[in-house]
């Protein structure tokens, strides 16, 4: 099956099995060795990517679901201004994810910030897909809240300059 999509800003037409998981597409078809694929099915949360801006587990997304969509991996996201907001929030709160879950959590934090999610329970629920216990729930909530504040300030400054 042919699938048109955008991965890390590149518009592609991929010929592949329609139920091949996105995590394998990224590794095998795109050469993205950083996308984790050990668990084979929602066990660790370390294969998180953004699909149309929403954080999802790439091991659970079959190829046919990315048709016409935009996929952003951490490899691409880490160079964005939005990632700088997340890094500033880590620093301000004084809490950082471990190296194992840094990429996945950063993408989930971004997705929550982008959606403006401030509800504590929703933040904790969304972040529970990452099975690593390096950050406590309160730190995660504070990071999202701080990142929202940082992002708002950046947008306000940008609007004032134009």
Q: What residues does each domain of the chain span?
A: 2-73, 81-161
Give the C-alpha distances (Å, rounded to integers) separating 148 from 3, 47, 133: 35, 24, 23
Cβ-Cβ contacts under 8 Å for 78 (sequence gap 6 or more)? 103, 106
What single-letter DSSP state applies at residue 62?
B
Q: Which CATH architecture has domain 2-73?
A: Roll (3.10)
Q: Phi first, then psi: give them for residue 127, nearest 5 degrees.
A: -80, -10
pLDDT computed for residue 110 by the predictor: 97
Tokens 């620093």, located at residue: 91
Give the chain's mean pLDDT.
89
Give the C-alpha distances (Å, rounded to integers) separating 43 from 22, 59, 75, 133, 137: 16, 10, 22, 13, 19
38 pLDDT band (50/70/90 cuts)? low
pLDDT computed for residue 44 by the predictor: 82
What single-letter DSSP state applies at residue 99?
T
pLDDT computed for residue 157 by the predictor: 64
**Helix, strand, coil abundance in the chain, percent, nearest 5:** 50, 15, 35
Q: Taking every pair of C-alpha atoms in the chain, what is the biggest distance, in angstroms?
A: 49
pLDDT computed for residue 6 by the predictor: 96
pLDDT top residue among 45 and 8: 8
Segment 39-78, tens digit of pLDDT: 655 578 889 999 999 999 998 999 999 999 999 999 999 9
Residue 19 pLDDT more than 90?
Answer: no
In this structure, the dihedral spanned by the alpha carbons of residues 96, 132, 42 and 35, taken in order and rounded to 10 degrees, is 50
Q: Is the pTM of the predicted complex or chain greater than 0.85? A: yes
* Residue of 62, 64, 102 whose CA lies nearest to 86: 102
154 pLDDT band (50/70/90 cuts)? confident
């Amino acid at each position: 099956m042919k699938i048109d999509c955008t991965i890390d800003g590149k518009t592609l037409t991929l010929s592949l099995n329609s139920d091949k998981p996105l995590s394998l597409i990224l590794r095998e078809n795109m050469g993205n060795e950083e996308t984790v694929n050990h668990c084979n099915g929602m066990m660790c949360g370390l294969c998180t990517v953004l699909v149309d801006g929403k954080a999802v587990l790439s091991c659970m997304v079959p190829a046919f679901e990315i048709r016409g969509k935009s996929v952003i991996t951490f490899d691409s996201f880490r160079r964005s201004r939005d990632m700088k907001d997340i890094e500033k929030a880590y620093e301000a709160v004084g809490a950082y994810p471990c190296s194992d879950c840094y990429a996945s959590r950063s993408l989930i934090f971004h997705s929550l910030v982008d959606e403006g999610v401030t509800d504590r329970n929703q933040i904790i629920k969304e972040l529970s897909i990452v099975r690593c216990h390096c950050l406590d729930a309160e730190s995660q909530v504070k990071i999202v809240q701080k990142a929202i504040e940082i992002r708002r300030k950046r947008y306000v400054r940008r609007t004032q300059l134009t």
